A and B are shown apart, each in its own frame.
Chain A
Amino acid sequence: MNIAGFSWKERRDGENAAGTRVFTEYVRALEGGGEPDPRRLAVVREALKGALRGELRRRGLWNAPPDYLGVYGSEGWEDALEELVSAVYVFIFIDRRRALQAQLRLKPNVDGLVFLNVRHFVHERQKEHDPLGSQVFEVLQSAVRQAVAQGELHVLAGDPRVRNETVLGFRPDAEPAPPVQDFRDLVARWNDDLLPDLVTLRGRRQEEIVERLRERLVDLSPGGDAFRFKDVIDPLRADVRARWGALLEQAAGETAVEREDGETVRMVRLSRPDTGFEERQLFRRLIDCVLTSIERLEVNEKTRSYLATLWQFLRVSAGSCPEDVGEGRASLRRIGELLGIPRERLPGLYETLGQLVERCRAANSGKLSVTPLQGAFAPAGPGGMTP
């Protein structure tokens, strides 16, 4: 089953590549209630596996580790697919069954909607578990789209929405089949200047970093008149991961503070949520609440900016690392260098964030994926952090 070039518009009234309407028939069969037929369920699971495979290839994830979708401890995707199929089944045929059946009232075929939901599922999982990779992709994609809209770049081949295989040119008549180019050195120079904003500037401020990246796209032109999006995004992501990855592995989803000469530090564990829906919702609410609190905090703009950057760092850390990695060993100095925050400010910023987390946790009144460690967030005592 090939959905790599999937367009739901085309599929909405058609049949899938196998010439059958596996999903439609299944949704129809579920209308009667009761347990699904095991044979039919097996066929649906196989079809879902094919759809996942196609979507993973489309997103360029097929050669990445399954950790990027939150499947840990798997040898490869074939192994990880089993776990993902179960999750995507719940996402589509349990959580969204009502909506599928609603659409079935009007159309004879909802297979296209199932493929669409597979796409949404993978997108959501990737954002959650590969926040670094998806954020870098998002910013570069936006920058390229803006450059195309302003006539600085032209889509020569591939998906005009700008995907991995899209070929872009600096002239509309450039050769649409450029050779593979090595932009590793170039994007590393970009990152010297763009990090940490490339990862930490989000939401309304994301536009700033998109604009800065767009201005640099012209640096690609000496390599030729055209390039593949994939040839830029892959090394760009790899470079960001290389710079952040080493630190994140040590940080293991925590503030990752190493005790240095004579200082006692407080830590907050911001661990990845369980796969449960409610847990994920609480986690999102916590992230949201702390971001909102930072916006409203009565501090100067510099401090606010440091707090936002540090919080985004913690958020990426929580999404990027498996939980069973040892506790933090990265030093305040390294974190300070990475985030562009003076080292001496970090203890105070951690303390403030800790207080915000506590308040938000109390406000949400739920069990959050946040565990204070070593008396964290208690009023600063002797040896504790002070802002």
Chain B
Amino acid sequence: MSRHTSDRRAPELGDLYVFAETAGFPVEWAVLDAPAGGPGRCLAVPADTNPLAGSADVEILANEPAGPLSLRCRFALWLDAARFDPDRRTGALAPDAVARALEKKAALEAGDPAASPLSWETDADPEYEDWVREVLIPAHAALASPAAREAPAVRARPIRNRWSAPGNPYAALAASILLMVTLGLAGGLLWQKGQITDLSHRSEEELRRERERHVGELRQTEEAHRREIAERERLAAQREQEDRNRIADLEHRLDRAGHTRPLVNAPYAFLSPKDPVRGEPETRVLPPGASYFFLVLAVNDFRPFPEYRLEIVNKDTGKPVWSSRGLHKTGISEISVALPRDLLPPGDYQLRLFGLKDGKAEPAGEYEMRIAEK
């Protein structure tokens, strides 16, 4: 860390701080203006490490103190010096960087940011727009209390030559004239007073009612906005969650696909339809390490079927061990399947093939085989 001092001095020009109020956002705050050694207000701008720098930003390069950073001068705030916690000072900018940022801020206030063409390009970049909307605006709002939005305090100038000041030779004369005019107008004023008082009371009452009405409307609008924002956030979160689930599922499947390895020495059998005059079924010896057993069934039934169903029955137990539809004949009248080795323990099996068409299953072939183990 470039600089972290434990002294409890007041913020100085160029100091970088983090604030608890903006802990949820990846920003620090750079001090651009600070009162000399006493209480008062400091001018601070958000600073972050997003390399996108627009027309209202100042880039602090990686080879400069505390760099790389982007100072977002459009989001400057005046903050009470007391809010800068010395324990949360995180670094310091070079004086030149502060000067550049102040220059930029002044240019912005004058309405001419004097930006470079590349920074205008950044302004038009949607990623930059997102950064401003999702990070800088909310961070600025989080730190800006009503007091902070005020302009820095300006010391009032002493008023010279007040007419009531002691020793003024015209004071008594002026007072006398004023008194006479006042007395002369007293009658009229008394009559007017009643009117004005009445008007004043009525105006105050109307203003009060209007103010209350506006406050109520404002609250309602705020509440509606809060609800709308909450709903949008909920929908956005829901969409993101759906996206994440979908992506996680895809990645999982991709991972699994990536684990598929070539099979070598895979056992297979080529079966022809059962010959009614043939005796014992053909025996296939499966090596113990085999994970799959490949079967190719020759189909001698030349009727066209859009799909086939295959049933495998253990002849010893009479129980079906596997069945599936959706099989299709290859161009050379064969059906192929790869069966997990565990599905076929040693024994005799009958395989029945059906052609499926118009909701009907027509027998299309019967096969037999014997499985043995090494």
Contacts and interface: CB of A to CB of B under 8 A. Distances in A.
Contacts of B90: 98, 101-102, 105
Given A31-B1, A160-B239, A202-B121, A105 B247 contact: no
A96 B239 contact: no
Interface stretch (A280-288, A346-354, A379-387): A280-288
Nearest to A287: B118
B366 interface: no
A206 interface: yes
Interface in B35-76: 48-52, 61-63, 66, 68-69
Interface in B124-155: 124-127, 130, 134
A203 B117 contact: yes
Contacts of A10: 237, 240
A58 to B, nearest CB: 9
A243 B97 CA distance: 43
A124 B51 contact: yes
B254 to A, nearest CB: 10
Contacts of B50: 120
Given A116-B26, A145-B126, A160-B239, A103 B120 contact: no
A98 B124 contact: no
A325 interface: no
Contacts of B68: 95-96
Given A102-B28, A107-B23, A281 B61 contact: yes
A44 interface: no
A300 B50 CA distance: 38
B28 A99 contact: yes
B16 interface: yes
Interface in A1-48: 2, 4-5, 7-10, 12, 31
B51 A98 contact: no
B60 to A, nearest CB: 11
B51 A202 contact: no
Contact of A288 (B117, B126, B236, B237): B117
Interface in B245-261: 247-248, 251
A157 B235 CA distance: 10
Given A95-B68, A96-B49, A102-B90, A284 B118 contact: yes
| Contact size range, B | 35 or more
B63 A103 contact: no
Given A2-B244, A138-B124, A288 B2 contact: no
Interface in B91-125: 91, 116-118, 120-121, 123-125
B243 interface: yes
A204 B49 contact: no
A203 B28 contact: no
B347 interface: no
A8 B117 contact: no
Contact of A102 (B16, B125, B127): B16
Contacts of A145: 126
A12 B1 CA distance: 21
B173 to A, nearest CB: 66
Nearest to A142: B126
Interface string A266-290: 0000000000011001001001100
B374 to A, nearest CB: 39
Contact of A120 (B20, B23, B49): B49
Contacts of B126: 138, 141-142, 145, 161-162
Interface in A50-107: 57, 95-96, 98-99, 101-103, 105-107
Most buried by B among A102, A117, A158: A102
Contacts of A162: 126
Contacts of B127: 123
A92 B239 CA distance: 29
B341 interface: no
A176 B150 CA distance: 47
Contacts of A174: none
Nearest to A294: B117
B69 A99 contact: yes
Contact of B236 (A31, A160, A207): A160
B306 interface: no
B216 interface: no
A50 to B, nearest CB: 10
A198 B77 CA distance: 38
Interface in A284-315: 284, 287-288, 291-292, 295
A103 B118 contact: no
B18 interface: yes
A159 interface: yes
A257 interface: no
A113 to B, nearest CB: 5
Given A96-B49, A98-B91, A295 B117 contact: yes
A165 interface: yes
A159 B134 contact: no
B320 interface: no
Nearest to B244: A5
B352 interface: no
A291 B127 CA distance: 22
Given A95-B68, A281-B61, A5 B243 contact: yes
A5 B242 CA distance: 9
Contacts of A203: 117-118, 120-121, 123-124
Given A203-B118, A277-B61, A277-B62, 5 more contacts: A5-B241, A102-B91, A106-B88, A159-B240, A291-B118
Interface of A: 2, 4-5, 7-10, 12, 31, 57, 95-96, 98-99, 101-103, 105-107, 113, 116-117, 120, 123-124, 138, 141-142, 145, 157-162, 165, 202-204, 206-207, 210, 277-278, 281, 284, 287-288, 291-292, 295
14 contacts: A2-B247, A4-B244, A5-B243, A10-B240, A102-B18, A106-B19, A120-B52, A159-B239, A159-B243, A162-B126, A202-B117, A203-B123, A204-B124, A210-B124
Q: Which 9 A-B pairs have the closest CB atoms?
A: A203-B120, A102-B90, A291-B117, A5-B244, A106-B23, A5-B243, A4-B247, A206-B124, A203-B121
